[in-house]
Structure formats: structure tokens, C-alpha cells
Amino acid sequence: MRTVKASDIKANVTHMCIDANRYLPEDVLNRLDECAARETSPTAIEIFRQLRENAALAAETGLPLCQDCGLAVFFVEIGEDVKIEGGSLKESITAGMVQGYQDGYLRKSSCDPFTRKNTGNNAPAIIHIDLVPGDKLKIWMMAKGGGSENMSRVILLAPAEGWAGIKKFVVNRIAEAGSNPCPPVIVGVGIGGNFEIAPIMAKKALLRPLGEPHPDPAIAKLEAELLVEINTLGIGPMGLGGETTCLDVKIAVAPCHLASLPLAVNVQCHSARHKEVEL
Ligand code: SF4
């Protein structure tokens, strides 16, 4: 049994929240550059230049990458041989998140769904925990903005719809979303599971590095097919037209009920802010 201090979890989560909101991951920056090089429209090229400038300014000044610092979403894998000392896992993550959003001057976006009164500290953190073999504790943090999350959808298709139905739904979703999710987007697709598993898979799939295809070549081929179809929509960077509507498509698959074909589409904006830590 390995012991991890609750105070270490809290301190790491605080840093993750601040850093995620200041520094775009390398894979995202590289992908922006690759896609910018393929654009021919002056407007699209200029938008990519502004996105790069924005990222550089955030890193230099410590100001957040976007005014919407998002709800703080955490995916946690905790080994069966890990013991948390001095507090609970969920409380440590929430406390670290509250501290990070406070210390980093990050906008708190969490509110009551009816009164719309702000909770004041971005709480609650949204935490998904998986118990896994081993003695490691891994935490991924995403700052998930409202504009792109609003464009996400889940549907239970009829099994007969198959890949053609899935593709149609995903492409239509991005077409209907238009400029709302601040394209170029990253599209997470959860296929299978059930009503609650599919959207969780779709969101977690967004954490796979850009440019890294699914390990199963058959699924990787579907990702590539979807990416081409979405980019032929011509929505382009910030919806102003161009070759790049989507930076990458990430699919996750799980077995499902024989009467269902669950499908979830999680839309991530270009400001794909996330961090991970292993304790
Ligand atoms: S969708 Fe993303 S880039 Fe656009 S406002 Fe929201 S967080 Fe910011």
C-alpha cells in the first residue's frame, strides 16, 4: 500500500488549474501551426496568428487564455494500492481547484441552474474516479468552457443506423454548431456504453494528444474519415471560413446493449486547456 498525502493532491490540483488556464499544451500549439500552414484564406491565416499570439501573451503575462476559465473537470485513476492520508480524495481535489481559481484570478463560472447565482468559488469540481490496479494516482484536469460544452450532444441511435448514422449525426452536430464553439474544434466521440457512459468516454477521449490516432487501426480510420468530412464543412477558424473547422477527432468505444447504439459528441474549442499529474 502506498500513501499519498491529501495536501499533495490539493497543491498539485491548484497548480494544474492555474497552468492549464495559462499554457496551451504543446500538441495543441503544434496542431494550430500545422493547420495554419494549410490555409489559403487571409482571414483564416490571420485567425491562426491571433490564436498563437493569444497563447503567447497568456504564457508571458499569466493572464488566462480565455475569459471563460470553464468548469473544472477531473478524470482520476486511483490504484487499488493507494491510501490517501489526511483527507479525502474528492475534498482535496475540490479544495485545490478552489485555491487555484482564486490564486490564478480565474473566472468562476459555476452557478445555480435556476437562480443563476454564482457559487462564488467555481465549486463543485466535476470529478470522475476510476479504480485501477496498482499504486499510482493519476489526475487529469480540463478547464471546459461553456460555449463548446453547449454544442455537445448525446443520442441513443437505433443499432441499424451503424457507422453511417453515427457519421451523419456527428457531422451535422458540428455543422449546426457553426461558430458557437469557437472553432477550430476538437471532437470527442463516445460510441457504445449506455446513456451515461457514452458522454464520459467522449469527454475523456479529448485528452488523447492531437495527432495521436486511436490504437486500433480500424477506429483510427473512422477518426480520419470524420476529420475529413468535418473539415469539408468550411466553417473554418472562428467560423469565418477556411480549411480547418476541426483540429482532430478522438473516438472512444465500449460494448453496449444489443438494442441500443449510444453516441455522444463532446465539442472542445481551440482553447483545449488540460493538465495531468501522476502522484
Ligand atoms: S468556447 Fe472556448 S474559446 Fe470560446 S469562449 Fe468558451 S472557453 Fe473560450
pLDDT, tens only, 223-246:
999 999 999 999 999 999 999 999
User: Which atom of ligand 1 is closest in space to residue 65's alpha carbon?
Assistant: 8
Q: Which residues line ligand 1 (CB under 6 A)?
A: 66, 68, 70, 145-148, 181-182, 269, 271
DSSP one-letter string for 200-263:
HHHHHHTTSPTT---SSHHHHHHHHHHHHHHHTT---GGGS-SS-SEEEEEEEEEEE-TT-EEE
> What distance in angstroms lies between residue 132's CA and the mean position of ligand 1's atoms?
33
Q: Which of 106, 135, 132, 110 is nearest to 120 (CA)?
A: 110
pLDDT score for 13 = 98
pLDDT score for 274 = 97
Distance (Å, whole) CA 168 – CA 257: 21
> What distance in angstroms lies between residue 181's CA and the mean position of ligand 1's atoms?
7
> What distance in angstroms lies between residue 1's CA and the mean position of ligand 1's atoms?
41
> What distance in angstroms lies between residue 22's CA and the mean position of ligand 1's atoms?
14
User: Which atom of ligand 1 is closest in space to residue 69's alpha carbon?
Assistant: 7
pLDDT score for 231 = 98
Q: Would you say 244 and 231 are in contact if contact means Cβ atoms under 8 Å apart?
A: yes
pLDDT tens string 165-211: 999 999 999 999 999 999 999 999 999 999 999 999 999 999 999 99
> What distance in angstroms lies between residue 259's CA and the mean position of ligand 1's atoms?
36
Is residue 267 classed as helix, strand or coil in its secondary structure? strand
pTM beyond 0.85: the answer is yes
Strands lying side by side in the sheet with 261-268: 153-157, 261-268, 185-193, 246-256
Low-confidence ranges of the chain (pLDDT < 70): none
